[in-house]
Structure 1
């Protein structure tokens, strides 16, 4: 973008190619605001290539200037990203001046994301607390170059690699650093002429620094378009009602004595960075005292590090700035905020409303405490009049809606209203799906919810088409549930393409998984050790996404290999489906029993029963977990027990050390004490650490 911070007015502006070989941008009043500062004695041409590159070149094909060398916030396929280039986000969706987020190669040769508002700056991708190799990156290069190829693969010299969900030749793509600090890969839907996200750096936007500004908390809310909700912490108010990036400011006198302040607890809250100092092995009282002694201390994090979990030790992190606040059930520790002691009771009441709940009973938007202004009589009259007029209009609208609903039997107005809710999915006709599936003749799966058939559309796209059994379900109800599926976005969940709600027909269209279910492959020789390990990691990532983001409208049930499907690269994805028994909920046939699936992949045996020989020589059936535990206990540290339980189909082609650790992780998840079981994110972390050799 030429002259980004002070753009031209757009009316009397002009881009001119001079005979001297200089390309200039002139604003109204003939003021030159930008130029390529190029010159040539031969003739020049300005060409827009099919790649999107705008090129100024001579008649001898010498390139004088090209737009690919000066990206703004977007990278196109084949456009090289180098040490001399960077992407900078826009300030907002309507303000294209430079925003707070930058993508660049740092001095360690790593591709990073940075938050920078000129007062505060912090690196947030890859995770700053990870070592380079733990983040899957390598600093051992000096080329500093990256590129998105025409197939949808992104490769970087620091070993960062990812791919588009619609990998292959065809769709037009762009990689953009969006205004919210997330890097997203978009693919163009030619039919709808809309851009669809096919990869993103963060599924949880609250992990992006500065997303809600200082003195505020970010909560992941998947059904919101932004994916998040910002709230001021107790005792603070929003600084700018139109822009959360300004954050919140104290609503109390900052100059208070030590005996005038106290602390309130914010459970499941973490503020990253800006620690005064790290104080290990501290008690809560010691930490409070330390924060009171430092005037600049705004509060403190009281938590256990990973290596402290089994020692009972806690560490104290006093904060000079409450920034990068994030609220999630994944955080088990507590944040303490310093506030005036006189108002602690009112703040505590606010915290009760502020708590995260995941009871399945729904969620409530959190209120903030605002000061009431003195009532204005004239304003009150105007408001009453506005309320009355609004109520009358609402009655009229509802009357028209009810009339249309009755006369069109639910296929008109109701459908159109829910089409907005189900945006992003294509609505297929029953005839289309019947033709694509050859009258539903190729069955590829069957379950309690319905029958799944293979379908091939006219554009050669292959899909899985599921005919739901519940023909009596209302269309509005069905579309509401379909739209809820659209809130789920993860690479290890099956992608839903569209639906059909026509008459009594209720169908869902999914991406087709070439290698079928894990169950179909588990007892064959198709899955070597590496594939099985990658499947374990992928399924754990999918569960971690669901379990720890508090999706109260998601039910978890029935983890088994039949519900894990494998794509062409044997990457796993969970099967999701619309609930047939719950009118307003989506049912994911997934349960927190990932450990059984891992043991089944390792052993090749059913989790419900293993045929074993007891001491008397008789055969007996044992649960898989019990059988594996017995084998491990009998070994007394000998690695031969692994060879006894491993699936014979792997033919000893595996790493015994890896296998032993994988089984240990699975058994840890089956601990009788519920609190001793690791979270799914912890399981993912342990598996990835195993993969990296740490």
Structure 2
């Protein structure tokens, strides 16, 4: 559908405005979901669109968004009519009835939303330049307007009143109602509230402060907050702020984001660049806890164990710099640490305690009935001690992460058909045949235009798909940051990596790709997808450069280098190796199964697994041109060339078999064997049997040792650098998982999510 729009712009610029977009909707007119790319209302200044957009599988919503002339994809939605009740992709319409009522009908049968208006005058529905969708009469009387019913966003001069509130979305890609609200409370104070499935509480302004202590004025009756296009915000309770770019008139929006933060965004009109959301909070579960719903971390965490009332069966894990506010059962001043610990042990409902120094009060003890409202802050002087069962192996490094980036939660909408008579069926068939002929003709014209107008494409005009939160650098900036590309820290088939210091003093790893073989638009499209990925075990991309033949990627810098470097320097004990194995499995499962795009790494090896200051793994160099849309997957998927590194490559590459995610599973298994044995698959195992071999021989050697009669087979293969007091159960588990991953037949190998389950399911094993 996007191609059709572009084609109309090129061939029929005048008729596009009249036959595709509308300036208003009159009585008896409708917008069809099946023609959402053509049926929409455009504001006179062409800044805003109102129409249908897809929110899931066969699920559509009607809303308003900032218009991007080069994409019909509504990235910046500012209002929705039916955010919690999407409609079908067939027969659904938004209609302005002759009665003066606006109705949204699902599949031609059920009304899911209505303006509840009535007028005998010739009313019209139109979209104003300020983004307000208005239903009014000829004399100007407004019957209904979207500004009176905000969802999660305010636009300039749109007031937030005592009758309205902002409700966040569930996630960046799931627009249904979330758990955070911005509203005026009963004390006339503008407040942020978490209203979750289990608890509800105010978190801004700080609830322990009186309104005047928070700088608020609650003796007012207006209850109104508003901001302008200059970037100034003012509330009737005396709360005000200005943006850093205050004073410049530009399109702006204030949104209560899915992470509970209110942010104001500005739009660069010179570039027609959409708003770039800031990175939100980074959420994780405490050690011993896991995310309840992996597709939506807002449901919180649940324990992996049962708490016992017997104090002799409990232990405590102390964590520095973590604060849990509220839900205190006991508060004792001038308490010793042991008194606080014993107080928690005596209470069956105590889940842990907070112990901190309060100035003027000494050390204070807070025993916790619930572990909520947590935050990690290096400046927090106290500690939280978690109550865990004895014999557990939970540690501060093994906390379960709720990913920063929540992949698309697909909403599904079933379609209920209605009986059709033979005449209707005939006319539908006839219309379809005509439409197919039209599409064939349009495709031929489009192909011709694509070939003849390449030089005037988006690359040349400067219109690019911008990756969320990713900055574009100039080549001169990165050359200066790397001191002329002088300090090389890594090298691979795709290019060379240099250490650099950016203008904001951040240390970065800057990868200079080999000479570009793809256009700038294609490169930026792939960078855009990679830029939206976000996982605690995935290297973070900060920016890119696409200038002439130069293609560079800017990543965060990892202090401890690669896994390969640490294995050769014998700096990893068994616990670190196990954590690296688990973290790497998690991020591969994320890339393979949890994202909208199907991403293969194709080169899993120790050199591409980097370690941060805490030895947490971050997979790097998952490269470009390895992104496949899930809808295009088939059993004959082929890559144009062999990818990977000798010693880690799956048999599929050699025998020209279909390439699937199982090639990464195979490489991961080889990496596990290398971490256990300390032996690179490319240099053989000469120290054991004097024979040089490659990965097949290493696998065979491990299998032979494991199936032998010796009870000490693990001691015979384990890396001598690992101390003798390692956890035999976990190291044996790594070997078993590795051997399952390196099966010759891809169908016998587990998926990466199954690998994660195998490694995690044994975390609470009494032997571990």
Give the TM-score normalised by the residue count of structure 2.
Answer: 0.44
| Greater length-normalized contact order (CA 8 Å, ≥ 6 residues apart) | 2
